[in-house]
Structure 1
Amino acid sequence: MPIIKPFMTSLRFTSTMGAGTGTGATFAIAATEFSTDAGTAATAFPSTFAFYNLYINGVLQPGNTSTISTTTITIPDGDAENAGTPVLVEFVVN
């Protein structure tokens, strides 16, 4: 049985699809293109977290629609979206 840590919090990052680069399977948005909840520019995504949620235009996306690292989030075919479409990444950290 996994041990659940008693303290959990979330970190949210916002951007738009227009901040991404690449096409098709290589479309990605750099962490530095996101803003934090405090309204400051993000420098990196968390290196450890319990899980993350991706919202595109306010709709929660299935877990298999993206991959994430400390520097980028890759959203295959995200370039097909309107450049103004909002993107929110929420990390639950413990």
Structure 2
Amino acid sequence: MDTVVLTLIGIQFSQIALAVLGILSTASEYSTGVIRASLTPVPRRPPVLWSKAAVFGAVAFTLTLLTAVVTFLAAQHFLSGTDQAASPAIPA
């Protein structure tokens, strides 16, 4: 069994949650009517959508990277001394 896959299996579930959160972050503006205030300073839609995607992507990337590193290190603490132990360092 691959140790990295075993350790980071939860990442697949978090990707689904991030996709849903991304959809909700855009759709909520349309359901509440706040989209009119967002489009008033910038009447064209693409710049607004690209800026929202950039902010959401940066936040999602940062949180996913932090969670993956912490999860891997925590799991390796419990797996140390077994045949499933791994190191984040590249073997020589």
TM score, norm. by length of structure 1: 0.21
Larger strand fraction of residues = 1
Would you tell me which structure has more helix in proportion to its own residues? Answer: 2
Higher CA-based Rg: 2
TM-score in terms of structure 2 length: 0.22
